[in-house]
Structure 1
């Protein structure tokens, strides 16, 4: 059954209101500083000098439009309560990173041209790109932690099928899924640190580290999961937060099958294949496949698949005695 709630209040605040406030704040700040700014300010720089100019207010509205369309457009997904929680969190962090970068660059562009007679002689402090990205990502993580899963929960009415595996003495099972510590470090080097150092070398500044490293961390975090199965049900943890969870009352049964991520789900990581069919698929091999009373199905590839299925079915039996 679909969620009865359409809007996540925290998602609306962080994903919709905050980008709009950031955009309008840039316009208001420009209006406030306009008497101290040149008639035309520099808005674009080459590697050596400014080569693009516009009036302060037209520039302000351009920045506002970019903030709302690109940053706000991504972040607004966080307000959609029925959407997958992890997707909403990811889009919020990405969107607010853009909002933070664009807003910071706009403020710095204005600040360096206050009381300046010749704007063509100014330079854009490139550190603002990195500082803004880090600031926006930080706010995005705070907002992501505030989002909630408003999925409507439906209790199963029957015990799991008798042919499904059962644990004789069910106990909690936890497993790390996806990249390990060493693999994550290598991936971060390849996607974040190495490209950043190359751009640092070219630009002569440190700011690329503050852009590439957060992006690399975000990508790596999306490929690391912790799966916990116990008497409460099954939970998938990502970025230190619960991305998916199904209570033991909701679970109709859990079975084991062999899954190939690219053949069965078209990719690697947290995937969605058709309506209500979710997969945390990070390897070819055994997977626990959990079906629920609301019509959702969750597939998790793990070496502990047999143990997880047995524990879930055994606890579901006990709950319905």
Structure 2
């Protein structure tokens, strides 16, 4: 019976999580290609407050959404399969799969809407506003994503606290203890960040080619993505008499857990996709916040109110012991 349920879940994942979003994008592209004889050689590809203000080949509107859908689907499927067999279905996995449907519908509706209003035009600058198809795409994408969410197998509850608590260090009461490390994002994820920066810069260049008015916004977006990526890729982790402190290299975000609020400290194995839905500054069920830079050991610190902070770090055992030592000293003094 369990095997049948697992097979059914796999089939639903295959149909609604893999085939459906790519099929929507491909069908949309085929329809758009059939309209090419009715479209001008150069079409509007960007709209501002005063109407169309960026132009390019109709193929850019046709191929880019398909490419984004296929790449996003393949990338998220790779991360999901990397943890399958180790754990059951999680809400993070379902979010990734449902997002494929939303993205596919939104991009396909945007493509078809942008080209449909230009069929028969000779001057693409006369293309009307495309707010309506974009709204339809967003609403339709949300509706399909919600349907896929409920079609997929129910997520299995996450278990917490299975690992033993960290052992405090055997130190004299007068001995001082301090621990600090710098952590950074894993190598493969850096490649993804670089890819995102390349896309952002490419968008700025394309915007400049189509319309100089859109260039400052696109360039500002690219710079913002670059600064945010660097700022969220390097963190300092510290444990001392002030508590357990995790701070991004730019100074924000900063999280501090005073020693008198720490009730439990554990070393756990962290799988970024299964546990937190990805890398970086993340949130997960069970009132968990994560600074997830890589897959592997991490320190999990539990507050008195039940909130948990998870930080992946190579020297997790030593760091957890220092945190446990500091917390025990505070409890002994109270």
Tell me if both proteins adopt one fold, taking TM over 0.5 as the criterion.
Answer: no
The structure carrying a bigger helix percent of its residues is: 2
Q: TM-score, normalised by structure 1?
A: 0.45
Q: TM-score, normalised by structure 2?
A: 0.43
